[in-house]
Amino acid sequence: DVKVTQSSRYLVKRTGEKVFLECVQDMDHENMFWYRQDPGLGLRLIYFSYDVKMKEKGDIPEGYSVSREKKERFSLILESASTNQTSMYLCASSGPENQPQHFGDGTRLSIL
């Protein structure tokens, strides 16, 4: 079974802090994704990566950056956290084109 592990289930940070969310997958997948999930808005893609050191902006990249130094690890960075970034963050990975995405259990992030 594919295992996508997100480092924290719950996280509370202060406005202005730099926040790191970590994600690791164990299936040697090329593609990795970061989403945020908000009530009524569904899943929105923040960034994705199709290879080490490669990244592409999704639908809502503003205020976020990502890092992929190793194939199995994809990090989401909130450069200066703001209250409107309070959300559920989901990481996913997938194999080559059109393979389904597999998700971690999410990080519920609160920015105070």
Residue 73 binds another protein, judged by CB under 8 A = no
Strands 31-38, 64-70: pairing is unpaired
Residue 7 binds another protein, judged by CB under 8 A = no
Q: Residues 102, 93: contact at Cβ < 8 Å?
A: yes
If the CB atoms of residues 15 and 30 are measured against another protein, the closer one turns out to be 30
Q: Which of 24, 46, 47, 48 binds another protein (CB under 8 A)?
A: 48
CB of 100 to another protein, least distance (A): 5
Residue 105 binds another protein, judged by CB under 8 A = yes
Closest CA to 28 of 96, 110, 104: 96
Measure the CA–CA gap between 64 and 81, rounded to whole angstroms: 9
Residue 21 binds another protein, judged by CB under 8 A = no
If the CB atoms of residues 13 and 102 are measured against another protein, the closer one turns out to be 102
Residue 1 binds another protein, judged by CB under 8 A = no
Longest dimension (CA), the chain: 39
Measure the CA–CA gap between 92 and 86, rounded to whole angstroms: 19
Residue 102 binds another protein, judged by CB under 8 A = yes
